[in-house]
Amino acid sequence: MRTNIKETVLRLVILFIGLIIAHLGVTLFLLTELGADPFNVLVQGIRLCIIKTGFITPTHGTVHMVICFLIILVLLFVDRHYIKAGTIVCMFCGGPIIDFFTWLLQSFRIEAAALPVKIIILVIGCVILAFGMTIVIRSEAGTGPNDLVAVVISEKTHLRFGAVRIATDVIFVLIGFLLGGKFGVGTIICAFLVGPVADFCMPFSDAIVKKILRLL
């Protein structure tokens, strides 16, 4: 029993590290202002709709957290076994991590950099996001609600995760763009790069997680 508790805690720690890595990548996307990653285009669009109501002006992180909560509600009816303790951690921590990194990196004025530099930062952010996402998934402590959408569809249809990720990202972009989210070259790069990079990183992340767990 004690070993199981230790393993659960360690898996949650691994998940949280992966979450931090992934959302550092997300923040780099946002700061380049070349278009956010697909899920955050959706977040931006919904946030703009809320602001237009004139009632409140929520932060990007707050809207991110609320949308993740709504996805979890849907998954409770689809297949609740996917929802674990780590899923709740992702829901509450993802948005605040983005807000924190935005505050931490704002002095670098990435948005004012030359276009080639922005594109390099954006690609780096894409790789960081994909790697962090696979660490979260392979922790098996739960997956972030937005990533779970692709995970659930992939497992239910037996299609490759990379292909399903591209499809869900395109849907996020279309909805977010129609609501006013920022769509740009960065969004296109992310939509077609994160899935394949995640596919590439998955076995490495799996090996890393297993190596850490063997320390118990």
Other beta carbons within 10 Å of 147? 24
- Please state the rounded mean pLDDT for residues 179-198: 85
Q: Residue 209: its pLDDT value, please?
A: 93
| pLDDT attached to residue 11 | 93
The chain-wide mean pLDDT, for the chain, equals 87
pLDDT of residue 128: 95
* Burial class of residue 110 in the structure, from the number of CB atoms within 10 Å of its CB (0-12 exposed, 13-18 middle, 19+ buried): buried
Average pLDDT over residues 194-213: 91
For residue 209, the one-letter residue type is V
pLDDT at residue 2, rounded to an integer = 56
Q: Which domain holds residue 168?
A: 2-213
Instruction: Compare 162 and 14 and report the one with higher pLDDT.
Output: 14
What is the pLDDT, as a whole number, of residue 19? 93
**Total domains in the fold of the chain:** 1
pLDDT (average), residues 94-118: 90
Between 56 and 136, the higher pLDDT residue: 136
Specify the range with the lowest mean pLDDT, choosing from 123-127, 184-188, 199-203. 184-188
Between 21 and 156, the more confident residue is: 21
Q: Tens of pLDDT along 142-179?
A: 887 887 888 888 888 988 888 888 899 889 989 998 99
Tell me what the mean pLDDT of segment 176-190 comes to: 85
pLDDT number for residue 206: 93
Return the pLDDT at 165.
Answer: 83
For residues 28-44, average pLDDT:
85
Span 63-81, mean pLDDT? 85
Q: Can you give the pLDDT at residue 129? A: 92
- pLDDT confidence bin for 90, thresholds 50/70/90: confident
pTM assigned to the model: 0.81
